[in-house]
Each structure stands twice: as structure tokens, then as C-alpha cells.
Amino acid sequence: MATNSSTAAFYVVGLLLLIHSGYSSFEFHKLSIVSHYHGSLPIDIVLETVIAIIIIVIGAITSVSNTPVLSLKGEQINSRSKFLKFIEMKDAVTVIESIGLSDYEELNTRVGFINIIKKRREYSEWLGQST
């Protein structure tokens, strides 16, 4: 929630600065035409534009922060990396392993080969024991 509001703040401030610098640039060019001035854009407008873009980029990065996930046991797992996902495989696999699964779970679960008769029998036996 805090991340969402800080992201929104970055976007709002960045966009306001960008619009302001754009309008300043527009005014400057209008005045240049009227007063026949041929100089370059003032440094404060350029600086304002650069700062606005930096703020928007920071907002974009904070918006891709990793969200927590629930493990199979129902525990909330937070990623070790706050923003972006890991690139190296040995770090990337730790996230899914902490949930209790792996990227190769299909080779372990093999739903297409599920022994439905055995599973149902096990369930009945368990029900019989627990009642």
C-alpha cells in the first residue's frame, strides 16, 4: 500500500514538473519569436525536464516492486529482492522453493499420470481414521 502511494506521488510530481517545463519552453519560444532572440533554451528549463524524467523513472521502478506470496502451508513469503526479480538462477529458484514448489514441479506431480483410484482410497481411509 505504501509502495503504491509513493509510486503515485513520484508520478504526480514528475508529471507536474514535466508539464511545467514544457509550458516554460513554449513560452520561451513564443517570446524568442516576438523579441527576435536566437539564444538557446535556459538551463533552468533543461534542468527541470531532466529532474522530472528522473523522478518518473524512479516512480516506474518502485511500481515494479515484488509482491508477497503465500506458501503452500499458508505462510506469507516476501522476496529477498524488493524491486525486480533475480537474474541468476541460483537466486531466482529460492523464491519458488520457499513456497514449497519448484519450476520443475510438473516432473514431480505428473497430473496426467495421477492414480485417482489410489488417491480416493487414501482419502477414504483417512476419513475413516479421523471420524
Partner 1 sequence: MSDITLLKNKLLLVASSGAFANFSPEQVKEYNDELEHFLLVSTDSLDSIELFNLYELEFYLALISKNDIKAKSVLDRLLDQFGSNKKSQRIKLLQSLFLEATGERDQATKLLEKNPDEMLLSRRLTTFSRNNDDEKDNEDYIYNLIFYLDLQPSDLVTWAELGDEYSKIGHYDKAIFSFKEILLQDPYAYPVFYKVALNYYYNFLQEEKNLKTERKDKLVELSELLINARDNALRCIEICDVYAKSWLLIYIISTHKFNEKLSKLDSVKEIKDYLVTNERLRKLSEIKISELIPEDERANVLAQLQLK
> What is the closest distance, in whole angstroms, from the C-beta atom of residue 125 to partner 1 in the complex?
8
CA 7, distance to chain mean position in Å, is 10
> What is the closest distance, in whole angstroms, from the C-beta atom of residue 109 to partner 1 in the complex?
4
Q: Which residue number, 32 or 71, has a Cβ lying nearer to partner 1?
A: 71
> What is the closest distance, in whole angstroms, from the C-beta atom of residue 130 to partner 1 in the complex?
8
Q: Which residues in this chain contact partner 1 in the complex, by CB under 8 A? A: 67-72, 74, 76, 89-90, 93-94, 97-102, 104-120, 122-127
Render the burial of 79-114: b for 16+ CB within 10 Å, e for the rest.
beeeeeeeeeeeeeeebeeeeeeeeeeeeeeeeeee
Q: Which residue number, 24 or 65, has a Cβ lying nearer to partner 1?
A: 65
